[in-house]
Amino acid sequence: MSSRWVRNGLIYLIIVVIVVALFYNVYSASTGPTSVPITTVAKDVREGRVSKILVSGDDLTITRTSGVEVVSRKEPGADITDVLTNLGVTQEMLNNITIEVQTPSEWGGWLAILSSFLPLLLIGGLLLFMMRQAQSGNSQALSFGKSRARMFTGDQPTVTFDDVAGVVEAKQELEEVVEFLQEPEKFTALGARIPKGVLMLGPPGCGKTLMARAVAGEAEVPFFSISGSEFVEMFVGVGASRVRDLFEQAKRNSPCIVFVDEIDAVGRHRGAGLGGSHDEREQTLNQILVEMDGFDTDTNVIVMAATNRPDILDPALLRPGRFDRRVILDLPDMNGRNDILKIHAKGKPLAEEVNLKVIAKQTPGFSGADIENLLNEAAILAARRDKKSISMEELQEAVERVIAGPERKSRLIRDEEKEIIAHHEAGHALVMASLPGCDPVHKVSIVSRGMALGYTMPLPEDDRYLMQRSRFQDELAGLLGGRAAEELIFDDITTGASNDLERATKLARRMVTEYGMSDKLGPLTFGRKEELVFLGREIGEQRNYSEEVAKVIDEEVRRFINQAHETALRVLSENKDKLVKLAQRLIEVETLEGPDLEAMFA
Ligand code: ADP
Ligand code: MG
Ligand code: ZN
């Protein structure tokens, strides 16, 4: 310790001395003899006010007859008498003054050079010193190339596999990975190669990061976690250097797991992007590939990565020997949602009558994150109503908030408009309830919510992975039911259907161009999707079909829409009395659901 203190003390002392010296220098320079231009010197000589000129190199020290000293400089290398003569000083005047020429000593020259370089040297030294200090002191200041990975040792597991629900297969796969690390002999004895990489794929909010944390908690081996974007920095080469550092650390701690979250930040197709082929990201990716290839079979390091954009990943990352295991975490099904609801309901007092199964049924397409959000919203609503526990009412309300945004009861709607909205929603509901291909209607409301003036909520009976054309056609009719009701009742149309129309058109177009559901065009797909290289987002569609086909596509889309429109009109005109009754009831009570609603359809 003492030697270190002495060294540091010495360095600080030197810094203080230098600072003082610099100040002194500036101070003394400002109080020394005033400096005048050479022309002033010549004028003084002409007017006989100078007694002596001391020449030292190019520096002049002039002593006036009054005894005052001033300094000046002449042209480098020129003779002082020539300079003065050129400025109109006669030989006679020169004779009156003493000119003393001092040859500058060797030392003086060196000193001058040294003094001009000294500050530079000092600054350089100081920087070097700071750098050493920063690196030895474990400070972040100058360690750009160091990996920022956080290491978990699993001593205090915060998340376990029990906290992840609804992704049974993914859980199995990862439990196996954990086993690989804990008992590698079991697998190597049978000649199995331990997987090098596990890639977790799935839409956002489906528990990829959560799953990785569960692995960290369960594995009982060190777990390094870093996000893909943390490799990317302002400086070129930093990413690759961080990767090297990360893997070095990992190898020292093997067996262990390295987890790179959101790997698409660096793992994008090489050669994509506007930066040309030598993009910084590419170098980082290359380094990851090199490191993964560099593992020996007995280095027990498993690389886990997560992404929701597998389509933009570089194919090299996906080949066997790298991320040779893919684990898919998809949106949960009904049972999954029920389990996730149970997990997140822990620690939240639920009322007796709460049936989470019903909520799970009402939330198709919700991700784990949405469900967590839903329960949180429900808890907040219950607190706002000063309740001691969360009841079904709050849960239902929260589902709608998550789907459509908060209710806007304060929005004032004129009676006239209310009537239109009521008939519009009643139209949707009635068409949906009458067609076999539509999901049963769960709720109709004319309270505006988010951007919508009213809404009709269908409730799928179970999760569906395949859709028939007839279902799509019924769905289109349901979407157009609102507009059809307006036409039928008011003989006029409003802007209220714009969102319905947009959705219907999109669906019809997909039926034709993606699902090959048009008889006229047959089982073909049309158009190639274009992606924005940096955002990875679709920006448009490239046409790979002729003008004639484009025309047929438009015709077919129109045909699907027209058919649906006719169906909706037919259903509504057959049930006009029901439509009017439903709309009147909606105006009275604003929201209809459950048995009340079913009674209206009967
Ligand atoms: P991502 O897949 O985008 O990384 P996260 O793992 O960050 O999603 O999930 C966000 C949150 O959603 C988690 O913290 C967790 O609370 C909740 N969640 C998501 N999926 C599940 C699941 N399968 N089981 C339980 N909770 C989940
Ligand atoms: Mg994540
Ligand atoms: Zn509508």
> Do 467 and 576 fall within a single domain?
yes
User: Within this chain, do residues 452 and 365 fall inside the same structural domain, yes or no?
Assistant: no
Residues lining ligand 1, Cβ inside 6 A: 164-167, 202, 204-210, 340, 343, 368-369, 372
pLDDT at position 532 over 50? no
Residue 441 in this model has a pLDDT that exceeds 70: yes
Q: Is residue 143 part of a domain?
A: no
pLDDT digits (tens, 9 = 90+) for 157-206: 578 888 999 888 889 888 888 888 888 888 888 888 778 888 898 888 98
Range with lowest mean pLDDT among 29-33, 137-141, 556-560: 137-141
Residues forming a β-bridge with 583: none
In this prediction, residue 488 carries a pLDDT of 94
Domain final residue, candidates 328, 359, 389: 328
Cα distances from 562 to residues 375, 423, 426, 500, 501, in angstroms, run 41, 21, 20, 14, 12
Atom of ligand 1 nearest to the CA of 200: 2
201 CA distance to ligand 1 middle (Å): 13
Residues 398 and 471 both lie in one domain = no
Q: Return the CA Rg of the chain.
A: 41
Structure tokens at 383: 């607190």
Residue 287 CA to ligand 1 center (angstroms) comes to 30
Pick the ligand that lies closest to the CA of residue 427: 3
* 361 and 269 in a common domain: no
Contacting residues for 252 by C-beta, under 8 A, at least 6 apart: none
* Centre of ligand 1 from the C-alpha of residue 210, in Å: 5
Ligand 2 centroid to residue 159 C-alpha, Å: 15
- Top mutation candidate among 172, 342, 372 for ligand 1, by most atoms within 8 Å of CB: 372
Q: What is the pLDDT of residue 272?
A: 58
Domain boundary among 44, 74, 107: 107
Indicate if the pLDDT at residue 1 is higher than 50: no
pLDDT category of residue 563 using cuts at 50, 70 and 90: very high
Bridge-partner residues for 444, per DSSP? 456, 592
Question: Mean pLDDT: which of 464-473, 513-522, 530-539, 562-571 is highest?
Answer: 562-571
Looking at the CA of residue 167, tell me the nearest atom of ligand 1.
23
Closest-lying ligand to the alpha carbon of 368?
Answer: 1
Distance 520 CA to ligand 3 centre (A): 30
Q: How far away, in angstroms, is 367 Cα from ligand 1 center? A: 8
The closest alpha carbon to 211, from 152, 170, 248, belongs to 170
Distance CA(58)–CA(78), nearest Å, equals: 8
Q: Name the residue range of residue 291's domain.
A: 150-328
Q: What Cα–Cα distance (Å) separates residue 428 from each residue in 37, 55, 361, 422, 479?
A: 95, 104, 21, 10, 6
The answer to whether residue 123 sits within a structural domain is no
pTM above 0.85, yes or no: no
Catalytic: 531? no
Residue 137 lies in a domain: no
Task: Based on the fold, state whether residues 356 and 293 are members of the same structural domain.
Answer: no
Are residue 363 and residue 508 in the same domain, yes or no? no
* Residues around ligand 2, an ion, CB closer than 5 A: 208-209
Q: How many Cα atoms occupy the beta-carbon half-sphere of 352 within 13 Å?
A: 0
Counting ligand 1 atoms within 8 A of each CB, the residue from 206, 210, 328 with the most, and so the one to mutate, is 210
For residue 516, the model assigns a pLDDT of 92
Q: Which ligand has the minimum distance to the alpha carbon of residue 482?
A: 3
- 322 with 375, same domain? no
pLDDT digits (tens, 9 = 90+) for 250-289: 888 878 888 988 888 777 766 655 554 456 777 788 888 8
Dihedral of CA 365/368/373/376: which sign?
positive
Q: Are 162 and 287 in contact (CB under 8 A)?
A: no
In sequence order, which residues have a C-beta less than 8 Å from that of residue 399 and are 6 or more positions away?
359, 362, 363, 374
Residues, Cβ < 5 Å to ion ligand 3: 482, 500
Looking at the fold, whether 180 and 321 belong to one and the same domain comes out as yes
Token readout for 436 is 């076999």
Q: From 436, 437, 475, select the one nearest 456 (Cα to Cα).
A: 475
CA of 213, closest atom in ligand 1: 6
Check whether residue 430 and residue 399 sit in a common domain: no
CATH of the domain at 229: 3.40.50.300
- Number of domains composing the chain: 4
Same domain, 472 and 577: yes
- If asked whether residues 520 and 545 sit together in one domain, one would say yes
State how far the Cα of 512 lies from the Cα of 504, in Å rounded to an integer: 12
Residue 183 lies in a domain: yes
CA-closest residue to ligand 1 atom 8 = 205
Mark which of 328, 350, 374 sits at the end of a domain: 328
Bridge-based pairing of strands 197-201 and 301-307 is parallel
CA–CA dist 265, 208 (Å, integer): 16
Is residue 384 assigned to a domain? yes
Choose between 250 and 142: higher pLDDT.
250
| Distance (Å) from CA 208 to ligand 1 centroid | 7
Check whether residue 349 and residue 305 sit in a common domain.
no
The protein residue with its alpha carbon nearest to ligand 1, atom 15, reads 369
Best mutation site among 159, 199, 206 for ligand 1 pocket (most ligand atoms within 8 Å of CB): 206
What does the pLDDT read at residue 35? 83
Of 425, 475, 486, 487, which is the active-site residue?
A: 425
Q: What DSSP element (H or E) covers 216?
A: helix 208-219
Q: Which ligand is nearest to the CA of 420?
A: 3
pLDDT for the residue numbered 506 = 92
Note whether residue 130 is domain-resident.
Answer: no
What CATH code is carried by the domain that includes residue 62? Answer: 3.30.720.210
In this structure, is residue 135 part of a structural domain?
A: no
Nearest CA to ligand 1 atom 7: 209
- For residue 139, being part of any structural domain is answered with no
